[in-house]
Each structure stands twice: as C-alpha cells, then as structure tokens.
Structure 1
Amino acid sequence: MKKLKQYILLVVKLLVAFTLIYLLFKRIEFRQVMETFKHGNYWYLISAFLVFCIAFGVFFSYRFHVLVRSITGGFYKSFQFTAIGFFFNNFLPTNVGGDGIKLYLLKQEQGKDGWGKSLSYIFTERFIGFATIFLAWIVYSPFFIDVYAEAWGLVADLVHVDSRKFWLIGGGVLLLIAGLLVMVLLRNKSIGQKILKGLQDFKYRLKQISQHQLVYVSIHSVLFHAFRGLGFYLLLLYFGVSLAPVHMIFLLFMSTFIGFLPISVGALGTLEAAIVLSLVIFGITEDVALALALFYRLFLVVFSLIGGVLYLTYRRSGQQAPGK
C-alpha cells in the first residue's frame, strides 16, 4: 500500500511537471526561444555558466562543509556528498530525495550514532539557506510593492479574470484554507502537538551547532544567493535586457521558494514557470524569460550529472552508498 502511494505521488508530480512544460511551450514557440540565443555576446553566457559553477560548486558546497567538516574531513568529500544529493534531488525521479541521500552518506561516515547529528546539520543548512533569501525578500518587498500588484494583474490576465474579481477570489481561497487549517488543528490536537514537538526538536538541534558555524553557514548562504543572482543578471545582459540588479532578489526568492515545494520532480516545470512569470512582471519578453530558464535548467542538469559521476566513483571506492 505504501509503495502504491509512492508511485501515485510520483505520477502526479510527473503530470504536474509535463503539464507546465506543455503549457509553457504552447504559449511560447520553441523556435522563437532558440532564436534569442543567436545574437548575444557569448562572453556573458560563458561568464554566467562559470558564476553558477562558483555558486554551486564553491559556496553551496562549502555551506554544507562548514557543518560537516568534522565528519567528512576534507572539502572534496563534502562537495562529493553535496553533488550526489543534488543528483538525486534534480536528475532522478526518486522519492528518496537529495537530503535523504546526504543523511545516509553522513551516517555511513559516523557509524551507529550518526543519525542525530547528521539530521541537525542537514536541517540547519536547509533552514539557513532559505532564511537568508527570505529575509532579503522581506527587506526588498516594501520598497517594490508595485511588483506584486503587477504580478497579480499578470496572473489575472493569464486566467482571463478581471483583476478585482481575482483579488476577491484569491482572498476568499486564502481565507478558506486558513479556516480549514484552524479547524483541523482544533479537531486534531495531535497535529498541533507534533508541530510543537518539531519546533522543540529544531531548537534542540540548533543548539548542537556552534555560533561560529552558524555565522559561516549564513555568510556562505548569502554568497551563494548573491552569485546565483549575478549569474541571472549576466544572462539578462547576454539577451540584451537591462534590469536593476536589486530585482534579482525577487527572482531568487521565487525560484528558491518553488524549489522547496514538493509538487514536481526536481522542480521540473515549476521552476521554469516561476522564472518566466518573475521576469515577465518586469517587462521582459516571454521568449527571453523562457530562454534564461532553459539555460539555468541546463546548468542544473550538468551539475546533477557531475553528482551522478561522483556517486558512481563513491560506490566503486567500496563505500556502502545507497543502491549498491
């Protein structure tokens, strides 16, 4: 029964992914998208790829290494585990997930008593990674509130609904969801207790991390997002688009937030849709927005394949990696 549920969930995620991809390419001609790649300065394209490499290969990996260096010993193994996790998270239609694989690999390095520490490290890295871009988005939003009005109007146009009606429908749906959540919590107190237990568990695990580690993880998280934003900005320059660098915060938050939602396999389709909508809001044409999203997806595939190669290397070295 459990396996059946997993297969059904996987099928639903794949349907979401392919539906969104279909809708994107139905609205935007692929030939038109490819045409946008022909006229830019290729140094911007190469620079963007290298910047993404630095973002993921150095800062993203070192953010993890700061926490697990006592387990992995050197940066190479931390990078190896990060890339392997990325491979499972973004390339294979697996239900295990990148974090699950990293947890297993760290446990293997520590022996019997490795689960608690490994889980605290992975959870802390994920939390701080999202918290840094979330705080940047909170600071950004009050100064550019018109962006959200534009986004709301854009979505209203896409679904062919009057903007005012869309506000009412959207607000009604949010209130309904909030009301249902309150009712569920009131009727099932065990859920509330589980949430409180989860928060207490997080507080306990956070205490296991030193302040020195938390500071360095936060610094590398900021650098990771900053370099990722620089990569997007260089891609826009390649396509001949001028956009204020500060708006990369909105794009970074949307792409990160969508990546956290478990509604697709490797955020396939959802990530592209988030990038396209985020850029169209600022007046960038749909073909350029989708071209940028596809280039970013290409980079993610390349980085994932590197993780796949490292996974095979790890298995051949005699380690008991998952799937052996």
Structure 2
Amino acid sequence: MKKKTNIKKTIKLLIQILFTAIAITIVVNKLDLSQIKNTLSSTNLFYLFLAFLMFNISKIISSIRLNRFFDDINLKLSQSYNLKLYYLGMFYNLFLPGGIGGDGYKIYILKKYFNQKILTMTKVMLLDRISGLIALLFLTGVLGLFSSFTNYTYISYLTIAGVILIYPITILLYKYKFSEFLKSFQITNFQALLVQLFQVFCAYFIVLSFGGSTDIFDLLVIFLISSIVAVLPLTVGGIGARELTFIYLLQFLGKEPTIGVALSVIFFLITALSSFIGVSFINYKWSEKQ
C-alpha cells in the first residue's frame, strides 16, 4: 500500500513538473523578455522593501489566525512557538508540491509533541485554507467592482452576487461542517481579510516599484485571481500558473501583460525570500513547547 502511495505521489509530481515546464514555455513565447528584464532592472528598492514588509505582516496575521483555530480545539501554543512553526511550514511549502507540505509537517509536530489527532489537525488546516480562500474571493469581488472587468455586465452582476452571498454561505458552512469554530467566526474571518489586504498592499508597492500604473485595480484584481489559481496543484509552487493568469486576463481586457508578469515574478521572489526565514527553525527543539 505504501509503495503504491509513493508511486502515485511520484506520478503527481512528474505531472506537475510537466505542467510547470509547459506553462513557463507558453509565458516565454508570449512575452518580450527584454521588456520584462527592463521592468525588473528598474525597480525602486524602497518600495520593494515595503512590499516585503507588507507580505510578512500578512503572514504574521495569518499565523495568529491559525493559532486562534488551535485555541478553539483547546490546543494552547504560545504565539512565538506558533510563528516559528508557521515560517518553517512556509519554507517546506516552497519546495514541496501542492503547497501543503508545510501543513503536513505542522500536523506531524503537533501530533508528536501535543498528542493531537491527525484528523482534528487536518480539519484545522483545511479550515485555515478555506477561510483564507473566502477572504480572497470576497476581496477580489470588492476590488473587481472598481476594475475594467465591470465593462462586462454579466461579470458585474456575478461579482455583486458573490460579494453579497459569500459570507452567509460561509456561516452555513461553519454551522454544519466546522461548528466547533463558530465562536471565533468573526475574528478569524476578519483576520483572514487583513491577511489578503496586506498581500494586496504588497502587490501595490511592487507596482509602485515599477513606477506605478494607470491599470492598478486591474492588476490587483488579477493578482488576487492568480493567488487562487496558484493554490491549485497544477504546477510546482504555482510557478507559471500565476504568470499565465496575468497574461490571459490582461489580454482579455485588451492590455499589455508585461507589468503583470513582472509583478508575479517579484511576488514569487518575495515569497521565497520570506520563506527562507523558516530555515533558522529547522533544528528548533519543538519538544520545548513554550
């Protein structure tokens, strides 16, 4: 059974590598690489530092939200311990396919040193991702109302309906599938919104580092959509998937994709650099709980 599982994982990884290679090839063929190079080489380092800061603030808030979920199941972790584990999870997510390797490591540590059930921990990690996705969809809808996508009437109607309905639907989801977390519904969903908002600030400062853009709302909305696409286990670490999202959606709007792809590349580099903070916790003694 274990051998079959390993074979399936290997096949899945090979498929992801193949899709990543295909996506990168399409991106390279659709862009003028010299324009991308010029855009990246002329970035303002001060704005990039602010983007890096905004990204890491979002991750700190995200770790606080996750710790609130832990508290709901009577798992008491100090925020310092939780943050270290969170950053190490980010590091593993960077290299392991599907972006869930870090979640698996956190589950392993919490089972080993806190006697937590794997099923319970898996449920917490799943809800953590769901709450993030809900906030992502809501913020995408709100910003979308100020973007060029509203030039298409049917998109406007769908967006308004989505913004209105998403949280009532979320309450029902919590009530019937995650009832033990209902008591923290308001605070955790507010924190999830803050996480996505600071990521939007990150993207905004990246665009400013290129000199700004008159299409800022379009870029930010597509950035959020690309974040949703990157979560899907299609490519390794979302590489290529984000860039293709920018290319096709900006072309759909009749706009040039160079800045969008440059934004995607810089955001990935900021993510990678931030994730390497977790390296310093690889040898941390997790048995020393506090």
TM-score class, shorter-chain normalisation, is 0.7 to 0.9
Q: Is the 8 A contact 2:51 2:206 kept in 1?
A: yes
- Structure 2 matches for 1:55-204, cutoff 5 A? 55-56=58-59, 58-69=60-71, 70-93=74-97, 97-111=101-115, 113-139=116-142, 146=149
Question: Could you tell me the TM-score, scaled by structure 2's length?
Answer: 0.78
| Correspondence for 2:185 | 214
Q: Is the 8 A contact 1:60 1:221 kept in 2?
A: yes
The size of the alignment, in residue pairs, is 266
1:221–1:96 distance in 2 versus 1, CA, 3 Å:
closer
1:218–1:245 distance in 2 versus 1, CA, 3 Å:
farther
- How far apart are 1:16 and its partner, in Å? 0.5
Q: Give the fraction of aligned pairs with identical amino acids, expressed as a percent.
A: 23
- How far apart are 1:63 and its partner, in Å? 1.6
Secondary structure (helix, strand or coil) at the match of 1:313 reads: coil
CA distance in 1, matches of 2:173, 2:41: 53
Q: Which runs of 5+ in 2 are unaligned?
A: 156-171
CA distance in 2, matches of 1:201, 1:223: 21
Q: Is the 8 A contact 1:280 1:289 kept in 2?
A: no
Question: Could you tell me the TM-score, scaled by structure 1's length?
Answer: 0.70
Q: Is the 8 A contact 1:88 1:94 kept in 2?
A: no
1:22 and 2:20 are equivalent in the alignment: no
CA distance in 1, matches of 2:173, 2:43: 51
| Correspondence for 1:303 | 274
Secondary structure (helix, strand or coil) at the match of 1:209 reads: helix
Stretches (4+) displaced over 6 A? none
1:44–1:252 distance in 2 versus 1, CA, 3 Å:
same
Q: Is the 8 A contact 2:223 2:264 kept in 1?
A: no
- How far apart are 1:304 and its partner, in Å? 2.3
- How far apart are 1:115 and its partner, in Å? 2.8
CA distance in 2, matches of 1:84, 1:273: 28
1:95–1:300 distance in 2 versus 1, CA, 3 Å:
closer
What's the C-alpha RMSD, in Å, of the aligned pairs?
3.2
1:208–1:50 distance in 2 versus 1, CA, 3 Å:
same
| Correspondence for 2:158 | none
1:95–1:75 distance in 2 versus 1, CA, 3 Å:
closer
Cα-to-partner distance string for 1:234-280 (whole Å, 9 max, x where unaligned): 11122123246654662243123212311122112112222444455
Q: Which runs of 5+ in 1 are unaligned?
A: 153-199
- How far apart are 1:94 and its partner, in Å? 7.5
